[in-house]
Amino acid sequence: MLAIVCPGQGSQTPGFLTPWLELDGMTETLGTWSAATGVDLTAHGTVSDEATIKDTAVAQPLIVAAGLLAAQALDLPSLPATWTAAGHSVGEITAAALTGVLTAETALEFVRIRATGMAEAAAAEPTGMAAVLGGDPDEVLASLESHSLVPANANGAGQTVAAGSAEALAALAADPPAKARVITLKVAGAFHTPYMASAVPALQAYAEGLTAQDPAVPLLSNRDGLPVRSGRQFVDQLVDQVTRPVRWDLCMESLRQAGVTGILEVLPGGTLTGLAKRALKGTATLAVKSPEDLDAARAFIAEHSTAAGG
């Protein structure tokens, strides 16, 4: 069985869309999507520097558009309905579009409002996120609590992402839990925490007026790792997700229990397949990073779709 997963913020790198614009129609598509997001996706995906694409208002639309661009190149909508989808954080919006819950244009408008609100919330005071790698899980959580930090992402594979004030994150880095490393992430705020509360009202207002379809394939939620019951439910959870922790560990456990044999990560791939290699040993993985990966991705999809009987 095949799973298609969509990465979140921090997976972007300068110039990563440059080779994709050599594919037929991609420049025009990205131009249309730039209008939907109010962000020059072409410039930010090709020539903008690391500091620019770290900006939440830029990063989130860029990541969602990148995933949709790779999906278009792979013609994912034509796949047999024998796969499961999941996205990490903002990647859930990509997954919503891939599974038909939202149109691409609606997903991009949704992420524009989300990104703008979260960028404004992040600018209100110095906050951020840091990955805590290794250590005893209970000791890690106790350490975060002692520093007034929130476990914003439970990523599995021995990785917890702490979020909170810049001062508290610096204190954690200076005094990490036993046998753990602390790595600052390339994000501009304490996402998935109450620091983001001011971003919710505008997103909620937009969500109430949009049309959502039920997912065409099983779609896992960051809330609990379980398949969502309806498209409307998923949109409501996308709004709540702004201030709630991401339980990617539970998503991976659901993939394991479903008997997934192959995990394909869309552009900009690498982060989620890296977690899967450590947490789901024996499960095949493939990360789409450049157009050179497309042939391998098509073969991977065929192999694991066939393994599921479709």
Q: So which residues are the catalytic ones?
A: 89, 192
Query: Phi first, then psi: what are they for 97, rounded to 5°?
Result: -75, -40
Q: What is the DSSP letter of 192?
A: T
262-265 vs 284-287, strand pairing mode: parallel
> For tokens 């520097």, what's the residue?
49
Give the three-class secondary structure for 101.
coil
Q: What is the DSSP letter of 135?
A: S
Question: Which tokens go with 149?
Answer: 């930090």
Whole-angstrom distance, CA of residue 81 vs CA of residue 301: 12
The residue type at 176: P
Burial of 125 (0-12, 13-18, 19+ CB in 10 A): exposed
Question: Which tokens go with 147?
Answer: 């520093």
Q: At what angle do helices 91-98 and 231-240 cross, to 10 degrees?
A: 170
**Residue 265, beta-bridge partner list:** 5, 287
For residue 259, which of 304, 209, 207 has the smallest C-alpha distance? 304
**Residue 220, beta-bridge partner list:** 227
